[in-house]
Amino acid sequence: MSRVWSVARLTFAEGVRMKIVLVFLVVLLLLIIRMPFTLTGDGTLAGRVQNFLAYSLAALGVLLSLTTIFFSCAALAGEIKDRSLHLVVTKPVSRFEILLGKWLGVNLLNLVIVVLAGGAIYGLAYYLQGLPVQFQRDRTKLRETVWTARVAAKPIEPRQQIEDTARAEVRDRVQRGELMPAQVEAAVRARIDEGRRKWRLIGDGEERYFEFQGLPTPDREDAVVQIRYRVVAVPLTPDEIVEVGWVFCDPDTRAWLSEPLFTRERSNDTHQFLVRAQPVIKNGRALLLVANPPAPGPKTGFVFEGDESLVLLYPVGGFEANLARSLLMITFRLGLLSAVALFFSIFASFPVACFCSLAFYLVCLGSPFWLESMGVGAEGMPASIDPYGVIGPVVRTVLGPLVKIGFPDFVRYDGVRLLIEGLYVPYVLVGEAMLRTLAYGAVLLLLLGWLIFTQREVAEVQV
């Protein structure tokens, strides 16, 4: 193990001296220092802090990713080209120890930079959140929606029940001869979408229970629950105003926990209201009764439009721990990129290794876009509208799993979006990111890369 750390220390020292690394670090430093005084957001203090956090952490992630790729490629491909690696392989150190040491050295440098940059970002954000405000509600908004870590819970949707009902209805239509077998999957998807919308639809004078499960305990007794919602009137009323009745109930007995609250807000806009958390959440569950009061005029219903149209939010932690988890996920991503860059450097020249690593990085960044463009998840799409025609199912069967398995979704494993919205970055997501990045990179580099590296002739061992 001492030989591995010797290689790691040499790699770390090389990175500190490398000019391209210093250039990226200087640019990053200038951006972080400059951003707090140039980004104003929407004019509120919360918007200013959100803008700074979003751009500074994005700059940290992108610039450090590029630095990692170039440095990792130079750490191996560059040494092979100028034959400085000959001095190492002729020593009593194995190829595996060389790869592991270089990977550890690159990521040790990354860890130091992330810690220092993260500390600077936190310090500047802390300075911004302490600035004076004209209205106290601006500071309250910052504290409740940005400088916190909130759970965002959505009601449990009876997906299995909706899907079973949809398939039964489609099966009946096929038996009656109304549908061809090739149209079954498209019809099932349409019926599922219709069933989900019907579940969110509350007609005139109707009411529906929405249950939330798996809720962690609020971080303090006086915490408040924020209900964020967006309803659309069906049909739209002349004044575009929708009245909704709300009351939280006991999840076990369905007894009301308070008197109903009635809101009158504009249709198709996002609104919110607050209630106390402790009486609402019981054993990780909450039950919300939503009612549509009978209208004196024409009957009007409303529907919660979209997956994010009814969300329960409340604090479960602090901003500092949330920021640390977001930085940790950035570090995991850098660990994967360094492994990929070192892997390509084993058998490719420096420019080719950089190009391949950058291509890998871009595919991972755009993974949701690539999957959507291939139509993954759109099974049963008619060949007439399928971008790949009749071979569409085959293309998706082959390329879909390849993209999902071979290219981790960097959009999913990014805590910055959650952080700037004041949403809790869960440890489950951090652990998943570690497995999909660090573990994947370790297997790629230390298994496949080692096998290739052992077969490459670098220098004869001198005895």
pLDDT tens track for 17-45: 888 788 888 888 888 888 888 877 777 88
CA atoms within 13 A on the CB side of 253: 4
Residue-by-residue DSSP string for 395-461: HHHHHHHHHHHHS--TTTT--HHHHHTTB---HHHHHHHHIIIIIHHHHIIIIIIHHHHHHS---PP
Buried b (16+ CB within 10 A) or exposed e, 373-388: ebbbeeeebeeeebee
Choose the weakest-confidence range: 115-124, 141-150, 215-224.
215-224
pLDDT tens track for 411-431: 888 889 899 988 999 999 999
Find, among 151, 10, 121, the residue nearest to 61 by Cα: 121
Q: Is this structure's pTM higher than 0.85?
A: no
CA atoms within 13 A on the CB side of 229: 28
Task: Say yes or no to pLDDT of 398 above 80.
Answer: no
How far apart are alpha carbons 97 and 454 in whole angstroms?
Answer: 11
Tell me what pLDDT residue 20 has: 79
pLDDT tens track for 199-208: 999 998 899 9
Which 8-state DSSP code applies to residue 293? P
Tokens of 13: 């020292």
Higher pLDDT, 401 or 108: 108
Q: Which residue has the tokens 């802390």?
A: 126
Give 86-95 contacts, CB < 8 A, sequence gap 24+. Answer: 86/458, 86/459, 88/7, 89/458, 89/459, 89/461, 90/459, 90/460, 90/461, 90/462, 92/3, 93/3, 93/6, 93/7, 95/450, 95/453, 95/454
Instruction: Please enumerate in sequence order all residues whose Cβ is within 8 A of that of 426, keeping only pairs 6 or more positions apart, or say none.
Output: none
Question: Edge to edge, what strands does the sheet with 286-291 contain?
Answer: 207-212, 286-291, 241-249, 261-266
Confidence class for position 461, pLDDT limits 50, 70, 90: very low
Find, among 348, 322, 353, the residue nearest to 423 by Cα: 322
From residue 210, alpha-carbon distances to 18, 343, 426 in Å are 57, 50, 23
pLDDT tens track for 58-71: 999 999 999 999 99
How far apart are alpha carbons 392 and 374 in whole angstroms?
Answer: 8
pLDDT tens track for 191-231: 888 898 899 999 988 999 999 998 888 887 777 888 999 99
Quick one: how far is CA 86 from the chain centroid? 43
Query: Residue 70: helix, strand or coil by DSSP?
Result: helix
Task: Say yes or no to pLDDT of 121 above 90.
Answer: yes
Tokens of 99: 């790869």
Task: Say yes or no to pLDDT of 87 above 60.
Answer: no
